Amino acid sequence: MRNLNAAVGAVLLVALVGWLMIWVMLPTKAYKNSWDPNLSSTHFNSVYFQGQGTNLLLFSFPAMFIAALGCVYLHFHTRLQGPFSSSKREVKPKLISPLWRPYVISPLGIVTGVELAFMAMFIALLIWSLANYLYVSFGHLHMHKQGEKIWQAKFRSVSLRLGYVGNICWAFLFFPVTRGASLLPLIGLTSDSTIKYHIWLGHVSNVLFALHTIGFVVYWGMTNQMSEMLEWSRTYVSNVAGEIAMAIAVVMWVTSFGRVRRKMFEVFFYTHHLYVLYILFYLLHVGADYLCMILPGMFLFMIDRYLRFLQSQRNARLISARLLPCGSVELNFSKCPGLKYNPTSILFINIPTISKLQWHPFTVTSNSNLEPNNLSLVVKSLGSWSRKLSQQISSSVDRLQASVEGPYGPISSHFLRHEELVLISGGSGITPFISIIREIIFQSSNPNPQIPSRILLICAFKNSTDLAMLDLLLPFDGTPHPIPELLNLQIEAYITREKDQPTDSEKQPAQTKRFNPAQSDRPISANLGPNAWLWLGAIIVSSFALFVLLLGVVTRFYIYPIDRNAHDGSYHYSYFILWDVFLACAGVLAVSSMVFLVKKRRDLAEGNRVKGLEVGVSPQPPGSFVGEVESVPVQCVAGATNVHFGRRPDLKRILLGCGASDVGVMACGPRSLRHEVAQICSPGSAQNLHFESISFNW
């Protein structure tokens, strides 16, 4: 089995390299003069696909193949490892290669050497493409207007090719926002850590498209062809559609800069949804051939987006909430035992009574092995959304309607393989570490556990009430859990905004409020993807196959006959693209809905069993409103905790003092804290520190 999966992995690698090589070949003379004409001229291609077959075959097919086979690989990969367990501790070289070490680079944030290398390769691809396109184009320059000067024709050619190069960015733009994707985990990435690639690609493509647009406007101005601006051609690209797309892009672009995003997240969030229109007009502008080059990213995103939509249509079963003295809220959902997730997973939540449109991501703090029937997470009161949430919970409602998307997370708990683990958090950044420590607690109960020999948690909080977050480190089920003996856990807490221990050190208790969920509220069940790779693979294969089939049939029996008999040249260029978009959506919607319904029936059965269990456990009769119950404060971590007042931790001293040869260092919290930790772990500093940042990075 293991060998078979290794073989599948090798096939995936070859396919990936092959697909990338086609992108490298695309701008060359060989591609233009021999590959493309040879493939495009086949009768089959022109009758069934109107020439789109070439790009479908060379660009779409390999990426869809990788995505689908990747699902198979991941299915067996998680099986072989034991579901959601840690990977084996590897015999690691003493020195961590500079490639894996972090660099802090001002506009980019924290990047690893590998990321820098890939970035350099991508930029090289863009430059290579532009240079080759121009080389081929300047070789036999096309004059578009009589009396046009050579330099004007060259100016036009450069403007056009900048657009082509921007299109390459679009081929990759959508992969990082496909949350349940199979492609990201294949190369060890999670969707929340890859948003930054989306951001970079978005900026680069916007710059290129802006230059492309300005270039053409200037060219038309120079050559007295301003009327071109109003052209919506029947037979070639529509200029008007391109201008509309660019106008939308500018609005999206302006609102997506870091400053706007952080200060006015809602403005960014709502405006960003213009992407639907942007994509439509973009495609109307570039045409079917270019669509088929960049199709896979969009197609997979559409599948993911639609599955998310389906998941969010049901209400999640919220059973209780715990109000911590520091103002944070722990939400406790019911879940199907079949749903497994790894530590540091993220759940997106929507509470329609607060806002129908806003979704907010939170780290899941519970552990799917320790708490098979519940899923909990912590919401800190930071913005207006979370404040309203606290208010609603404190008010007298007895049910809170909520929908969820996710959980999404890494496919293995790789952090367990380090010899020592140092976890550094600021404020609410402690939540992913709660999930990690709970995983280690679970692992330590296994025979022959493979856990780090020492775990150091350094947490900075503003106020001493925030120390209540530490109570969450141990799973809570009414009775206090002791820290397992095997676990060598040391906690250093820093209270930065208080000089001394407060005199009234009476600890306020947390307050628990039980809800009375409606009959229709479902326990959270696995979304397709991480818990059901084969289902996802089946959706990918069959929806793509359905799309290609429908496209072939429509083209052969509807478009081709019209095209052949048309007096004025051909079938309308824009209608053709609308067909593509329509058929792709139809393929995705039909197949995904069907698979989702089949799976939902199984989930319903499992969900009902869970609900039955819950009623048995609850001391209250179902349907009654219980109100607030005080919980026992858990004091168990106190013994392992040192609290320091009035200062921040001296991170440099602590990290450089770690003696083990392989220390995993994880940081979560405010940007400056993550950057400081990354800086300490960067090359040129200590050789034994292996850095990992966790953040949604927005």
Ligand X SMILES: *[C@@H]1O[C@H](CO)[C@@H](O)[C@H](O)[C@H]1NC(C)=O
Ligand Y SMILES: NC(=O)c1ccc[n+]([C@@H]2O[C@H](COP(=O)([O-])OP(=O)(O)OC[C@H]3O[C@@H](n4cnc5c(N)ncnc54)[C@H](OP(=O)(O)O)[C@@H]3O)[C@@H](O)[C@H]2O)c1
Task: Kindly state the tokens that stand for 645.
Answer: 């007042």
Nearest-approach distance from CB 556 to ligand HEM, in angstroms? 32
Using the minimum distance from each CB to ligand X, give the nearer residue, 320 or 531: 320
Cβ(489)–Cβ(439) below 8 Å: no
What's the CA gap between 198 and 116, in Å, rounded? 15
Using the minimum distance from each CB to ligand HEM, give the nearer residue, 175 or 341: 175
The 10 Å Cβ neighbour count of residue 423 is 25
Nearest-approach distance from CB 135 to ligand HEM, in angstroms? 27
Site for ligand Y contains 423 (CB under 6 A): no
Nearest-approach distance from CB 17 to ligand X, in angstroms? 46
Please give the residues from 656 up to 675 whose contact with ligand Y meets the rule CB under 6 A.
Answer: 668-670, 672-673
Nearest-approach distance from CB 179 to ligand Y, in angstroms? 14
Q: How many residues bind ligand HEM (CB under 6 A)?
A: 18
Using the minimum distance from each CB to ligand X, give the nearer residue, 194 or 345: 345
460 interacts with, out of ligand HEM, ligand X, ligand Y, none, CB within 5 to 8 A per kind: ligand Y
Using the minimum distance from each CB to ligand Y, give the nearer residue, 420 or 676: 676
Please give the residues from 639 up to 698 whose contact with ligand HEM meets the rule CB under 6 A.
Answer: 698
Q: What is the DSSP string of 315-382?
A: PB-EEEEEE-TTS-EEEEEEB-TT----TT-EEEEE-TTT-SS--EEEEB-S-TTT-TTEEEEEE---
Cβ(72)–Cβ(11) below 8 Å: no
Site for ligand HEM contains 345 (CB under 6 A): no
What's the CA gap between 660 and 456, in Å, rounded? 12
Q: How far is CA 495 from CA 81, 426, 463, 653, in A?
A: 40, 10, 6, 18
Site for ligand HEM contains 167 (CB under 6 A): no
Bond prior to 93 in cis (omega within 30° of 0): no
Q: How many residues bind ligand X (CB under 6 A)?
A: 10
Separation of CA 100 from chain center: 21
* Helix (H) / strand (E) containing 392: helix 384-394
199 interacts with, out of ligand HEM, ligand X, ligand Y, none, CB within 5 to 8 A per kind: ligand HEM
What's the CA gap between 678 and 433, in Å, rounded? 17
Residue window 174-193: x/- pattern of binding to ligand HEM, with contact defined by CB under 6 A: ---x----------------
Q: Which of 278, 476, 494, 544 contacts ligand X by CB under 6 A?
A: 476
Q: Which of 65, 275, 515, 576 contacts ligand HEM by CB under 6 A?
A: 275
Q: Which of 163, 185, 649, 664 contacts ligand Y by CB under 6 A?
A: 649
From first CA to last CA, the distance across the chain in angstroms is: 40
Task: Kindly state the tokens that stand for 403.
Answer: 């929908």
Please give the residues from 494 up to 513 whose contact with ligand Y meets the rule CB under 6 A.
Answer: 496-497
| Cβ neighbours of residue 334 closer than 8 Å, sequence gap 6 or more | 317, 318, 319, 373, 374, 375, 517, 523, 524, 610, 611, 614
DSSP E strands in 515-589: the ranges are none
Q: What is the DSSP string of 105-145?
A: ETTTEEEEHHHHHHHHHHHHHHHHHHHHHHHHHHHTPPP-S
Q: How many CA atoms lie within 13 A of 71 on its CB side?
A: 22
322 interacts with, out of ligand X, ligand Y, ligand HEM, none, CB within 5 to 8 A per kind: ligand X
Nearest-approach distance from CB 490 to ligand X, in angstroms? 24
Which residues here bind ligand Y, judged by CB under 6 A? 363, 380, 382, 426-429, 431-432, 460-462, 496-497, 648-649, 651, 668-670, 672-673, 676, 694-696
Which residues here bind ligand HEM, judged by CB under 6 A? 177, 195, 198-199, 202-203, 205-206, 249, 252-253, 256, 261, 272, 275, 278, 305, 698
Which residues here bind ligand X, judged by CB under 6 A? 319-320, 322, 332, 374, 376, 476-478, 617
